[in-house]
Amino acid sequence: QKRTSRGSVGVFNAAIYESLKEEQALHEGLRQAIAKREFTLVYQPLVTSEDEKLWAVEALLRWQFGGRAIGPDVFIPLAEKCGLIHEIGIWVLHRACIDAAQWQFDEPVAVSVNVSVIQLMADGFIKILDRALASSGLNPERLHLEITESVFAKNKEKVIREVNAIKARKVQISIDDFGTGFSSLSQLQSLNFDHIKIDRTFVQNLEEGSDTIIRATVLIAREFGCKTIAEGIETPEHAAHLKAMGVDYLQGYYYAKPLSLTDLLHWYNNNNR
C-alpha cells in the first residue's frame, strides 16, 4: 500500500468500507431471502449430442434483492461463508424436485441440482436428500447432483461415504467444473460418479488448444464408464467441435439460456417435437 498522499489512502479505505457495507447488506438480505420469497429457480436445458433433444435440465438459483438481481457467483460464496448455504441448499433441492416431479415432457427428463461441497459434507445431507425425494415424489433416477471438483480436496472417506449413500438411492452425480481444480486420476477413480462436466473455460478456449484437454477428458471418462457433458456452448462451431470430440451431452446459450418454467415448456414444444 502506497502512502503518497493522505487523499489516496483515504479513497482506498473508503472503497474497502463501502465493500464491507455492501457485503453486510447482502448478508442481511440473504438471511431473509427465503422468507421473503426472493429466490427463484431458472432451468437450463442439456441436450444429447446425438440429436440435440432434451436430456436433463440444470436448476440455477436467482435472487431478486431490493429491485436488483444479484448473481449466484456473488451470493453463493457469501452464503457459504456465513453458513446460510445449508438453508438455501435445502430450499433449492426441494423446489427443484417439486418442479421436476410435475414436468410433463414426453420422455422422463432429469433435473440437475448444484450442491455446495459445504452442504454435501455437513451432517444430515442424506436425510435432506431423502426428504426432498419423499415430499416431491420424484423418481430418484431423475435427480442429478452437481458437485464441484473441489470435493476431492475434502476428507476422502467422508466423501466416499456420502457419494455411496447418494448412489444407493439411484440419484446420479455429476462432477462440475471439471479441469479447474486439482483432482488426480486416482482420486477420480475412487469415486463412483456418473458424469463429468467439462468446465466452460475449456469450451471457450478451444481455439487456444484446450481441445487436447477435452479429448483427454473424454478418454478418461470412457475408461471410468461415465458420460461427458460440455457447458458454455455458445456457437454452432462449439457444438460441432464438441460433438466431433465425442462429448455426450451439451449445454449453453446456443441451445437455450436458463429459462423460467413457462419458457422451458415453450422451448421444449418448439425444439423437441
Residue 237 is a binding residue for ligand C2E (CB under 6 A) = no
Q: Which stretch binds ligand C2E (CB under 6 A): 19-27, 151-159, 209-217, 250-258?
A: 250-258
Residue 60 is a binding residue for ligand C2E (CB under 6 A) = yes
123 contacts which partner out of ligand C2E, Ca ion, none, CB within 5 to 8 A by kind? none
x/- site string to Ca ion, residues 87 to 126, per CB under 5 A? Answer: ---------------------------x------------
* Smallest distance from ligand C2E to CB 59, Å: 6
Burial of 32 (0-12, 13-18, 19+ CB in 10 A): exposed
* Smallest distance from Ca ion to CB 263, Å: 19
Which residues, 6+ apart, have CB-to-CB distance to 251 below 8 Å? 44, 45, 46, 47, 58, 229, 230, 231, 232, 233
* Smallest distance from ligand C2E to CB 51, Å: 20
Q: Taking Cα atoms as reference points, which of 103, 186, 113, 102 lies closest to residue 147?
A: 113
Report the phi/psi class of residue 204: left, alpha or beta, with left for phi > 0 and alpha for psi in -120 to 50. Answer: alpha
SS (HEC) of 82-118: HCCHHHHHHHHHHHHHHHHHCCCCCCCCEEEEECCHH
- Residue pair 55/273 in contact (Cβ under 8 Å)? The answer is no
Residue 146 is a binding residue for Ca ion (CB under 5 A) = yes
Residue 181 is a binding residue for ligand C2E (CB under 6 A) = no
Residue 112 is a binding residue for ligand C2E (CB under 6 A) = no
In this structure, what are the phi and psi dihedrals at residue 48, rounded to the nearest 5 degrees? -75, 145
CB-nearer residue toward ligand C2E: 47 or 61:
61
CB-nearer residue toward ligand C2E: 92 or 221:
92
CB-nearer residue toward ligand C2E: 200 or 241:
200
* Smallest distance from Ca ion to CB 186, Å: 23
For the beta carbon of residue 24, count every other beta carbon within 10 angstroms: 10
Residue 176 is a binding residue for Ca ion (CB under 5 A) = yes
Q: For residues 243 and 246, what is the distance between their CA atoms, to the nearest angstrom? A: 5
Q: Nearest-5° angle of CA 172, CA 174, CA 178?
A: 165
Binding site for Ca ion (CB under 5 A): 114, 146, 176-177
Binding site for ligand C2E (CB under 6 A): 44, 60-61, 71-73, 76, 92, 114, 116, 146, 176-177, 200, 231-234, 252-253, 258
